[in-house]
A and B are shown apart, each in its own frame.
Chain A
Amino acid sequence: MTANMYRVGDYVYFEATSTNPYQIRRIEELNKTPNGNVEAKVMCFFRRRDLPTSLVSLADKHQGALDIEGENSDREDLSSKQRHQLTHRELFLSRQVETLPATLIRGKCSVTLLNETESLLSYLNKDDTFFYCLVFDPSQRTLLADKGEIRVGPKYQAEILPKLKEGDIDPRKFELMESLMWTPEHNLTDKQIDQFLVTSRSVGTFARALDCSSSVKQPSLHMSAQAASRDITLFHAMDTLHKHGYNLSEAHSSLVPSTGPVLCRDEMEEWSAFEANLFEEALEKYGKDFTDIRQDFLPWKTLKNIIEYYYMWKTTDRYVQQKRVKAVEAESKLKQVYIPNYNKPAGTLNNNKGILNGTTEPCIGKPCESCGATASQQWYSWGPSHMQYKLCQGCWNYWKKYGGLRVPMAKIVPGENEIDLPKKKSGSLSDEAISPTILVLNMQTKTERIPSSLSHRPHRCSIIGCAREFKVKAQLARHYATAHGLAVRAGSPRPIMKTRTAFYLATTPLTRIARRLCRNLLMSRHAARSPFWTINVPAIKQECQASIAGKSMVELRSLLVYKRKDRGSVTNIATQLGLARNHELIVPDWLSPTPPDHIPRSERIAFPKPPKAPDGSLLYERIPNKPEIEKPGILPSTPISGTKRKHCEEVNGVDGSLGVHDGIQASKRLSRDVLSSGGGGGGPIGPRTVINHLNGKARVATMSRTGRKQVISWMDAPDDVYFKSTTITKKVRKQLTAVQLRRAARKPWRKLSLVKGMEDMIVVLE
């Protein structure tokens, strides 16, 4: 019965998936959900196999240090098999908390902090016992010993003066250090003291009868007597006795001075019903924030009054009732939960976990991978499915509980994990080697497509229930800011929230070559149609490298040449399509074009065509409708205009043949600018930003003033700038002629010789 009773604080096995070992957790809370299920809030312990490989070696190192330090001789006596099994008993505490359904609990275990005096064998010899020494932080990916430190130094220790010599006198006045309130050194008997206490209570009852405010509150004698019996009266009586030198008669008479019988009232009695109601109301509103309660509800009371009253109020019926309500609310918080033994019928085992080949007949010649047994009640497939490994019943149970094989596996599992093997101690060989694969499936579903991310340390959001990963810290910071409203102060004073700058795609010759060479891998049409389809860049790179390898420079250059495919004009094609018909093309009258001279002309031409220039292009008249050109703010010839314009340059999707596709008038100018900046020789003064955006991979290339190329993330885009005009700049501006201004506006990179010191006027918004 008690074995199946799980309570808060127990260490338990959880079965998250049927194929993986149990998870070991500590129950922190048991909560009943509205639909009647029980959820357990648990603290996670990690096994060695759950650690990132980089940390495993660290753990080994620590273990090694323990071995040397440990003075127990039995540590040296451990056989390699025992050493191997010990690695299964070591856990790593984490402060990670998660919530799991209690039905997944599969039994109790015990986890204790390893003490150096303990024999490790004591863990091996007892089932379901684990130890831990180190704390694993999954978000930081660190492994630390959880040990506080006693600091040594004059800043920490007390200064100890030598013992006083005989005759040394402490100059302090001891009378001031304490005041005596009561001494047992008196000639009164216990009985006399008790009698005096009764007397003072009776005086108190009488005093309440005389006091109007009391008699209203305590209409019955019974209540007055009760009020007079509170501890304050007793303390007062004791004080009175002491004050009068334990002289009973003096003490008695002091209880009934000429002003009337002594009345001692504590806060409980002092407070009116109105105040009490006010207090309850306030308590409901503010909770136990007594400072606020005093300020807003009971300013005529002192804080001490309120606190004293609060603790007395807790003894009243009203509080008890409130507590009962609270208790009902708290019912969802369970102290313990009963979970029956988990006995999955054998049939399910067959189907789900699979006796090999789905039949009861085990593969002949394939013994248990762990112990080599050939006979077992039940077989379980284990490891990667293509390996067709299997375990016997006992070894399976061991695997589930301890996350490893009883005996170190002799064979090395082929696959990506081979690389890790040499790093490991010989004792802990190979069965852990399988673990990373499972780990990937288990913990990192998000990144499982990219195996390399295992070694890479991403920045993970530490908010519980989020755990999104980011490659760059700045991205994480931004995520914190946008998703959780958290401002994470990085080293840089730059604001996290920044407008995204526009970007366009700059293709390098190599990219273009790759596009041509790896057409089948790239599937550009497919990619264009489904932009969220990930392109396997590494594969393309590899393929490209391979095919480039044998090619000469000339061949490569020829690849770069844009070959216009002569597909003929659309009109011709259309006509051809029409002609291809067997029958005569029938064009109804209403479809045939009206001859130009038959088109009716309107009397007034609203928008006459502008005159033609000698080269045949139309000459548009300039309409200076934007007065801001003249206004301060966008003064040409300064980098500001460059940056400003850059924001509009969204030439999304225009590829490498950028300059060639200039058929469209409108984009012509933009394209040129971009080209010039990309080439780097065009001489724009301000910082220009060029971003590669290749299927989700963003890259920003900045041209700084010195012309050096820096690669930064687009998250760290250049700061917003504005132009601050001063009296000097205004003056300088006035010297410019209108023509000069216009020219400058059109060609912002051209330096105006007139303007000096203008660059200093740019203020970066931070």
Chain B
Amino acid sequence: MTTAVKKKVCYYYDSDIGNYYYGQGHPMKPHRIRMTHNLLLNYGLYRKMEIYRPHKATAEEMTKFHSDEYIRFLRSIRPDNMSEYNKQMQRFNVGEDCPVFDGLYEFCQLSGGGSVAAAVKLNKQAADICINWGGGLHHAKKSEASGFCYVNDIVLGILELLKYHQRVLYIDIDVHHGDGVEEAFYTTDRVMTVSFHKYGEYFPGTGDLRDIGAGKGKYYAVNIPLRDGMDDDSYESIFVPIITKVMETFQPNAVVLQCGADSLTGDRLGCFNLTVKGHGKCVEFVKKYNLPFLMVGGGGYTIRNVSRCWTYETSVALGTEIANELPYNDYFEYFGPDFKLHISPSNMANQNTPEYLEKIKTRLFENLRMLPHAPGVQVQSIPEDGVNDESEDEEKANPDERLPESIQDKRITGDNEFSESEDEGEGGRRDHRNYNKQRKRPRLDPNDPADAKVKEEEKMQCDEPNPKTSSTSA
């Protein structure tokens, strides 16, 4: 479905970002963000969106997630005073994968500042989609750098979104597991993290199917462990049903999509076989839900493909088709020998058999079924549908313009309604969940009449309000 809906897109970019250099031989190259930017300009996409230069995130903003000590350390470390910080470097895991380079802190400030500003923009409902290709550094932990990431801009952005949104969905299509974000929100039911990644003898080693969250956040972490050679079709066959189910059961108020481009074919570090089109399909699919949508970058180590991918995904966000022929730009020579936007998959073997993917899907559905269906959530699904219906009206009414205020207002009320019903009755939602959980804890046995009843009820809960979506997921 190529929607004619024109979304208001805000794009965050700082012209300095391309000049940060991780060091000789390091695969992470912020330059890819500049390459994307130049492609956007020459494709004429630049003029179709609001372009913002983000502020530099302050230490105060970063410590909303990170520990004070860690940020203080990042602020003070420089290549020329590294020797004084030996102990701390070890403690904060800075040195090898995450080297100390010139302007390290500024780089973190820019990527963090972009995601925070983008989240604020979405909170103010001043945009439908915000893009920060300089962000997406999903491995960074509260007090630890990891996997080329120092400051977790995604967590900062989500924390910002949580101020105005009861539930935020985080989707991660980087080839690596989004461990930093998952860990940050492992025990909360307000953020669901869904990560599609290569698992098994692969960085960072987390992301097992069995990791589902803890405490209140149990079942709110969804991990899809994949094997080498994922191609477009396989990816879609697992991404679409899982996300459909997640949207249906979790009913987020906002979505963050980490578009790590190392899941593309031929990536220097990745081992999947996705094309730009297949990767972009995920963006397209999430965009269809018409939720406040934050897109961030992430991994991606064959930089010509990264900039291809993110350019294409920007065009998807904008709902604009762009030519396969790349326009001339400063870095045109990087895209040889074909100078095309789209790339073809390699003939590498796909180790993910349909059988395997099916089994994983079944297991994840089982987990998602454990999510509480609190009345508060149920009630929400109806206005959500209403919004969806109306958005179709929007489509017809004014495809090129920003949403009329009337509709935006409706959305605001929608959001408020959710929160009101949840906040009512002093943690009513939690109680309901406990109640549900008690009944659902034993595995459902179709032969057991009591269980069957529960299942039936559950089914009704899912089906009734939104028969369309559930039929597609089945």
Task: Check if B41 sits within 8 Å of A181, measured CB to CB.
Answer: no
Question: Which chain B residue shows the least CB distance to A43?
Answer: B201
* CB <8 Å contact, A177 and B25: no
- Of all chain A residues, which has the CB nearest B49? A184
Q: Which of A150, A180, A230 contacts B51 (CB 8 A)?
A: A180
B8 shortest CB reach to chain A, Å: 9
Residue pair A160, B186 in contact (C-beta under 8 Å) = no
A185 — which chain B residues lie within 8 A by C-beta?
50
Number of A interface residues in the complex (CB < 8 A): 69
A308:B49 contact, CB within 8 angstroms? no
Q: In the complex, which residue of chain A has the Cβ closest to the Cβ of B360?
A: A117
CB-CB under 8 A for A181 and B187, given A193-B47, A230-B330: no
Q: Which of B18, B23, B332 contacts A308 (CB 8 A)?
A: B18
Taking a contact as CB atoms under 8 Å apart, the answer to whether A182 and B51 are in contact is yes
Interface residues as binary, B339-356 with A (CB distance below 8 Å gives 1, 0 otherwise): 000000001110100011
* 8 A Cβ contacts from A535-594 to B: none
- Chain A neighbourhood of B209, CB < 8 A: 115-117
Query: Is residue B419 within 8 Å, beta carbon to beta carbon, of the partner chain?
Result: yes
A158 lies within 8 A of B184 (CB): yes
Q: Does A255 contact B (CB under 8 A)?
A: no
Establish whether residues A148 and B21, one from each chain, have CB atoms under 8 Å apart when the complex forms: no
**What per-residue 1/0 map shows which CB atoms of A703-728 lie under 8 Å from chain B?**
00000000000000000000000000
In this assembly, does B204 line the interface, its C-beta being within 8 Å of a C-beta of chain A?
yes
* Residues on B with beta carbons closer than 8 Å to the beta carbon of A357: none
Q: B55–A150 contact, CB under 8 A?
A: no
- Choose, from B156-164, B238-246, B430-438, B450-458, the stretch at the interface: B156-164
Residues of B160-192 at the interface with A, using a CB-CB cut-off of 8 Å, are 162-166, 177, 179, 182-188, 190-191
Taking a contact as CB atoms under 8 Å apart, the answer to whether B55 and A157 are in contact is no
Which residues of A are found within 8 Å of B288, using beta-carbon distances?
Answer: none
CB atoms of A115 and B184 under 8 A apart: no
Once the chains are docked, how many angstroms separate the CA of A721 from the CA of B42? 77
Within 8 Å of chain A (Cβ to Cβ): is B36?
Answer: no
A156 contacts B186, C-beta separation under 8 Å: yes
Are B19 and A115 touching (Cβ within 8 A)?
no
Q: Given A160-B159, A177-B117, A178-B53, are A148 and B214 neighbors across the interface (CB < 8 Å)?
A: no
- Chain A residue nearest to B364 in the complex (CB): A117
- For A118, the chain B residues whose CB sits under 8 A away are 356, 359
Residues of A within 8 A of B51 (CB): 180-183
A160 CA to B155 CA in the complex, in Å? 10
| Contact A231 B329, CB 8 Å, known A117-B209, A182-B50 | yes
Tell me which residues across on chain A come within 8 A of B113, comparing CB atoms.
Answer: 177
- Please state if B201 and A93 are interface contacts (CB–CB under 8 Å): yes
Assess whether B159 is in contact with A113, with CB atoms less than 8 Å apart: no
B12 at the interface (CB under 8 A from A): yes
Complex alpha-carbon distance, A160 and B15, angstroms = 32
Which residues, 2 to 52 on B, are CB-close (under 8 Å) to A?
A: 12-13, 15-16, 18-21, 23-25, 31, 34, 38, 41-42, 44, 46-52
How far is B183's CA from A152's CA once the two chains are assembled, in angstroms?
A: 7
Interface members, chain A 98-118 (any B CB < 8 Å): 110, 112-113, 115-118
Q: Are B55 and A178 in contact (CB under 8 A)?
A: yes
User: Known: A9-B348, A146-B201, A311-B331. Contact between A304 and B52, CB under 8 A?
Assistant: no
Residue of A with least CB distance to B352: A112
Cross-interface CB contact of B41 among A235, A290, A308, cutoff 8 Å? A235
Chain B residues with CB under 8 A of A149 = 206
- Collect the chain B residues with CB atoms within 8 Å of residue A146's CB: 200-201, 205
Are A147 and B205 in contact, CB atoms less than 8 angstroms apart? yes
Question: Taking CB as reference atom, which chain B residue is nearest A5?
Answer: B347
Q: How far is the CA of A197 from the CA of B223 in the complex (A)?
A: 47
A117 touches B19 (CB 8 A): no
Cα–Cα distance between A155 and B186 once the two chains are bound (Å): 12
- Report the interface size for chain B: residues with CB under 8 A from the other chain: 97
A163 touching B362 in the complex, CB below 8 Å, given contacts A146-B200, A178-B12: no
Asked if A312 meets B206 with Cβ closer than 8 Å, knowing A155-B143, A182-B47, A184-B50, the reply is no
Q: Which of A9, A148, A176, A178 has the most CB of B within 10 A?
A: A178
A320 to B333, CA, bound (A): 9
**Is B248 in contact with chain A by the CB < 8 A criterion?**
no
Pick from B54, B177, B271, B443: contact of A178, CB below 8 A. Answer: B54
- In the complex, the answer to whether A150 meets B182 with C-beta atoms within 8 Å is yes
Does A160 lie within 8 Å of B188, measured CB to CB? yes
Q: Are the C-beta atoms of A314 and B52 separated by less than 8 Å?
A: no
CA distance A174 to B183 in the complex (A): 29
Give the docked Cα–Cα distance between A648 and B142 (Å).
62
Q: When chains A and B are docked, how far (Å) is the Cα of A184 from the Cα of B319? A: 14
Q: In the complex the two chains form, is B183's CB within 8 Å of A156's CB?
A: yes
Asked whether, in the complex, the Cβ of A179 is within 8 Å of the Cβ of B52, the reply is: yes
Q: CA–CA, A304 to B101, complex, Å? A: 12
Does B227 count as interface, using CB distance less than 8 angstroms? yes
Is there an interface contact between B142 and A158, defined as CB atoms closer than 8 Å? Answer: yes
Interface check A284, CB cutoff 8 A: no
Bound complex: CA A307 to CA B23 (Å): 11
Q: Which residues of A contact B102 (CB under 8 A)?
A: 291, 303
Whether the pair B159, A158 counts as a contact (CB closer than 8 A) is yes
A235–B41 CA distance with the chains assembled, in angstroms: 8
Interface string of A124-160 (1 = CB under 8 A from B): 0000000000010000000000111111100111111
CA distance A311 to B35 in the complex (A): 10
Contact check, B359 vs A315: say whether CB atoms are below 8 A apart. Answer: no
> Taking the complex as formed, is A661 at the interface, i.e. its CB lies under 8 A from any CB of chain B?
no
CB atoms of B214 and A9 under 8 A apart: no
Name which residue of chain A comes closest to B67, CB basis.
A155
- Decide yes or no whether A289 CB sits under 8 A from chain B: yes
Is B65 at the interface (CB under 8 A from chain A)? yes
A304 and B16 contact, Cβ closer than 8 Å, known pairs A157-B142, A164-B164, A177-B117: yes
User: Could you tell me which residues of chain A, from 286 to 315, have a CB within 8 Å of some CB in chain B?
Assistant: 287-291, 303-304, 307-308, 311-312, 314-315
B271's partner among A9, A116, A161, A231 (CB-CB below 8 A) is: A9
Q: Say yes or no: is A361 at the interface (Cβ < 8 Å to chain B).
A: no
**Residues of chain B within 8 A of A147, CB atoms compared:** 205-206, 208
Contact B215 A152 (CB under 8 A): yes
A72, closest chain B residue (CB): B359
Given contacts A112-B200, A177-B116, A234-B41, contact A157 B227 (CB under 8 A): no
Please judge, given known A-B contacts A112-B200, A177-B55, A304-B16, whether A288 and B46 are in contact too, CB under 8 Å: no
- Is B155 a contact partner of A158 (Cβ separation < 8 A)? yes
- Assess whether A288 is in contact with B24, with CB atoms less than 8 Å apart: yes
A248 to chain B minimum Cβ distance, whole angstroms, is 14
Contacts A157-B187, A231-B329, A231-B330; A117 near B162 (Cβ below 8 A): no
CB of B142 within 8 A of CB of A156, answer yes
| B206 closest partner in A (C-beta) | A148
Question: In the bound complex, what is the Cα–Cα distance between A155 and B79 (angstroms)?
Answer: 28
- Name B142's closest neighbour in chain A (CB-CB): A156
A150-B183 CB under 8 A given contacts A9-B348, A112-B351, A179-B52: yes
> Does A18 sit within 8 A of B, measured CB to CB?
no
Instruction: Write out, one digit per residue, whether chain A residues 63-103 have a CB within 8 A of any chain B CB (1) or not (0).
Output: 00000000100000000000000000000010000000000
CB distance from B83 to the nearest CB of A (A): 15
For B60, give the chain A residue with the smallest CB separation.
A172
Given contacts A166-B416, A238-B41, contact A157 B18 (CB under 8 A): no
Residues of chain A with a CB closer than 8 A to B206's CB: 147-150
Nearest chain A CB to B138 CB, angstrom units: 13
Q: How far is the CB of A478 from chain B (nearest CB, A)?
A: 27
Q: Does A122 contact B (CB under 8 A)?
A: yes
Instruction: Pick 7 A–B contacts, CB within 8 A, sort by A.
Output: A148-B206, A160-B185, A170-B120, A181-B13, A181-B51, A182-B46, A290-B21
Task: Please give the residue numbers on chain A whose beta carbons come within 8 Å of chain B beta carbons, in ascending order.
Answer: 2, 7, 9, 71, 93, 110, 112-113, 115-118, 122, 135, 146-152, 155-161, 163-164, 166, 170, 172, 174, 176-185, 190, 193, 230-232, 234-235, 238, 266, 268, 287-291, 303-304, 307-308, 311-312, 314-316, 320
Name 14 extra pairs, CB < 8 A, besides A9-B348, A112-B351.
A2-B347, A110-B349, A117-B359, A148-B177, A150-B182, A157-B183, A161-B162, A177-B113, A179-B52, A184-B49, A190-B47, A289-B24, A303-B102, A314-B334
